[in-house]
Amino acid sequence: MYKFLFVSGLVILSACADVTSPQTETTPYFAENGFGEGVAVVQHPAGEHINGITYVSYQGSNEDPYVASYDHSTKEWSGPFKAGTSILGKDPTKKIDSHGKPTMIIDDEGYIHIFYGGHGGVKELHGDNALGGYHSGENRHAVSQKPYDITAWRDLNNITPFGTYNQAVKMDNGDIYLFYRHGAHRSDWVYQKSSDNGLTFSDPVSFLKSKRREDNIGNDSWYASVSKGVGDEIVIGFDYHYCWDRGAPRNNRGGHSTERKNLYFVKFNTRDNSWKTVKDETLSLPITKDVADEKALAVDTGDKWTFNGITKVDVKGMPHINAYIGEDIGWQIGGPKHASYFAWDGENWVGDVKSGLPIGRGDFLVDEENVRFLLSGIDPTSDKTKVQWWNSQNSGLNFTPGKVLLKFGDFKGEPSKEMANRPKSLSNLDSPGSAASAFIKNAHPDARIIIAEKPEKSEWRRMYLVGDNGPIGRPQK
Ligand code: ZN
């Protein structure tokens, strides 16, 4: 009898729902105009949670930046709105370039800033690049017309056009630091500082030097990951890019590859502008390869290739490095890379590439000896892309799979040319069906990370905002 009543109740409820919202269907994603990679860990943060609202940015149609927001109390989405116009992505004969994906920071007055559109600049448009080379694009800075309002934007034209891989940090006193690579792959890494909520920026300051190698077969080059530390500190993790000349003995890959090695760590005290090693030895800028090897090396990865993830500190200020590490397989972008984690214990860097973390991309949380990774990657047993927690209770030495927050179908999209040329067994590498952002700044547990799915046979990406209860869905009209 009880069972009968219960079933009848369900029927009535669902009938009511049909009457009140006849055409409303909820999708697990909030937008479907993501383009190229949509998001990536390196351009961070891509979103921020403040005053009960999560703001997110991503690369959409025509490689332009888009911004959407989600109100956690009303459960309503706003946007996406186009927040700027990139000079990338306007020539359909060129391959998709995802270097200019937006990076977001919200200033102390509530204005929302995005930095986007850069991939080294163009000599004919931008003149001489004193700190590196050229490729394409124009690094731009747009700000919302009103505080906490994503509907209207203006460009400020107050940063150098050569930048790419923007990363933004806001200090406790409101100063904004913009870090980026000042040009194409043979360029210094620099920062610019703003003390007036992004209205003006100081000249760029080089902190990692790209220079000609002494053996004259290539250049020293770098990829960096920057985060706010404790108090006035900013922490920087980086890896070394072997930028061989075309035809150099070491270069059997036909030009620029993503061959990167080792993990390094330094910290920047913004109060006195000093740069130091993990052991508090002072460094002078810009840091060269010799100095980095001698003083800043955290992990020697040997023959393995790296791809840096997020470097950050815990509440005590102890540093933690996440990178993706895999074999050199003779291809331009290397073999599949497993998420890896290393931590400074006060005397040594501790960690192991065989910690059980999967191939994927994402970010991590550290709370005492508990380390949790949220990664988007392909489950080797099912071949499906999953966004899943991976947990460690022993300071990151071993990880075991945790809760799955989002699951896609089989990846059947068109592989990129590089992917298509690979041996079949490696076609899953680094998750072609999805891309992940770093964690949203000050993230609400319901909205931690932005995921871009490349659905079957589509050139577009579906964009998801994912948290502890799965993706935050959205009614579709
Ligand atoms: Zn290179």
Q: What is the DSSP string of 217-235?
A: SEEEEEEEEEEE-STTEEE
Q: What pLDDT score does 368 carry?
A: 82
Nearest to 396 by CA among 421, 433, 373, 371: 371
186: CA distance to ligand 1 center in Å? 6
Q: What pLDDT score does 477 carry?
A: 67
Q: What pLDDT score does 140 carry?
A: 98
**99 catalytic residue (yes or no):** yes
Q: What pLDDT score does 417 carry?
A: 52
* Centroid of chain to Cα 303: 25
Residues in the chain: 477
Distance CA 11, CA 18 (A): 11
Distance CA 133, CA 162 (A): 8
List the domains of the chain with CATH numbers.
Answer: 2-475 (2.130.10)
Q: Peptide bond before 286: cis, by omega within 30 degrees of 0? A: yes
Q: What pLDDT score does 255 carry?
A: 66
**167-179 pLDDT per residue, tens:** 999 999 999 999 9
∠442-443-448 over CA atoms, to 5°?
Answer: 150
Positions of the chain with pLDDT lower than 70, given as ranges: 1-23, 249-255, 331, 379-383, 409-432, 456, 477
219: CA distance to ligand 1 center in Å? 8
259: CA distance to ligand 1 center in Å? 8
- Work out the number of other CB atoms within 10 angstroms of the CB of residue 22: 7
**120-166 pLDDT per residue, tens:** 999 999 999 999 999 999 999 999 999 999 999 999 999 999 999 99
Structure tokens at 27: 């999708």
379: CA distance to ligand 1 center in Å? 31
258: CA distance to ligand 1 center in Å? 7
Residue among 111, 134, 165, 180 flagged as catalytic: 165
Question: Do residues 320 and 392 touch, judged by C-beta distance below 8 A?
Answer: no
153: CA distance to ligand 1 center in Å? 34
Question: Do residues 358 and 338 touch, judged by C-beta distance below 8 A?
Answer: yes
Q: What pLDDT score does 8 carry?
A: 37
341: CA distance to ligand 1 center in Å? 25
DSSP 237-272: EEEEEEEEPTT-TT--SSS----EEEEEEEEEETTT
Strands 163-170 and 149-155: unpaired
Q: What pLDDT score does 427 carry?
A: 39
220: CA distance to ligand 1 center in Å? 9
* Centroid of chain to Cα 423: 27
Structure tokens at 337: 């890379």
Q: Which amino acid is at 442?
A: N
Distance CA 152, CA 149 (A): 7
Residue among 58, 66, 70, 99 flagged as catalytic: 99
257: CA distance to ligand 1 center in Å? 6
233: CA distance to ligand 1 center in Å? 30
**240 catalytic residue (yes or no):** no
∠399-405-407 over CA atoms, to 5°?
Answer: 105
- Work out the number of other CB atoms within 10 angstroms of the CB of residue 412: 11
Q: Helix or strand or coil: residue 61?
A: helix
Neighbours of ion ligand 1 (CB under 5 A): 185, 243, 256
Name the DSSP class of 288.
P
Q: How far is CA 303 from CA 135, 260, 327, 429, in A?
A: 29, 10, 7, 18
Distance CA 33, CA 144 (A): 21
